Amino acid sequence: MITKKNIYVIHGYNSSASRHWFPWLKQKLTSDNKISVKVLDMPSPTEPKLEEWIGKLSESIERLDQNTFFIAHSLGCIALLDYFETLKELPKIGGIIFVSGFNQKLVNIPEINDFIRTGFDYKKIINATTSRVVVTAINDEIVPTEFSKELADSLEAKIFQLSAGGHFLDTDGFSKFPKIYEIVTNMIADKQEQVGNGND
C-alpha cells in the first residue's frame, strides 16, 4: 500500500495561495491521487507578523513524518525555519524545497526585518531531513542569490542557481514553475525508494 504524500506550500510577503505558480503546482501535483497539496494562505501578508505565521503553520500541519514535504517561497522560508525552532523535537520528514530562501535581514525591505530572526538550529533540520533543496536565480533583485547560497550552505542543501527567473513571481513570468515540479516529484520518488520498495 502506498501512503499518501502531504505537501505544504508556504507563500511569502505580500502574496497569497492564488498567486504566482502555486495554483499551477497544486493542480499538477494533485493529478496524482497519491499526493495531497495544501497551499496555505498566510495571515496579513502585507503586514506579516511572525507569531501569526507560526500559528498558521501549527494549526495547518496535520502531521510531521516521512511522507510530509514542504515548499516555501521567500519570507515563507523564514516562517518555516522559525516553525521548526518551536518544536522541541523535529521528527523525520520527507524533504524541504526553499525557493528564493534566505536567513538574514533584507536591506531593501526594512519593513519585514522585525519578522526575520537569525541563528536557527540548522543541525536539527539536517538531522530530520534526507532531502533539502534551495532554488535561486542569479538575477533575483529582492533576495540576492548570495543569501540563498548562504542558506543552502547552512542547511547542507543542494542548490539550483538558475540563470534567470528573478524572484519567481507572476510578474517575473512565473505562473508555472516546471523546475519545482521536477524537483519535488524526484524528491518524492527518491523517498519512496528509501522507505522500502513499495512496502510502505
Catalytic residue numbers read 74, 140, 167
CB 136 within 8 A of CB 145: yes
C-alpha cell at 36: 495531497
Q: Degrees (nearest 5) of the Cα angle 100, 106, 108?
A: 105
The Cβ of residue 62 has, within 10 Å, a number of other Cβ atoms equal to 10
Max intra-chain CA distance, the chain? 50
Residue 62 backbone phi and psi in degrees, to 5:
-75, -35
Q: Which residues pair with 70 in a beta bridge?
A: 8, 96
Q: With beta carbons less than 8 A apart as the criterion, state whether 5 and 94 touch.
A: yes
The helix (run of H) or strand (run of E) holding residue 22 is: helix 22-30
CA gap 113, 197 in Å, rounded: 45
Burial of 107 (0-12, 13-18, 19+ CB in 10 A): exposed
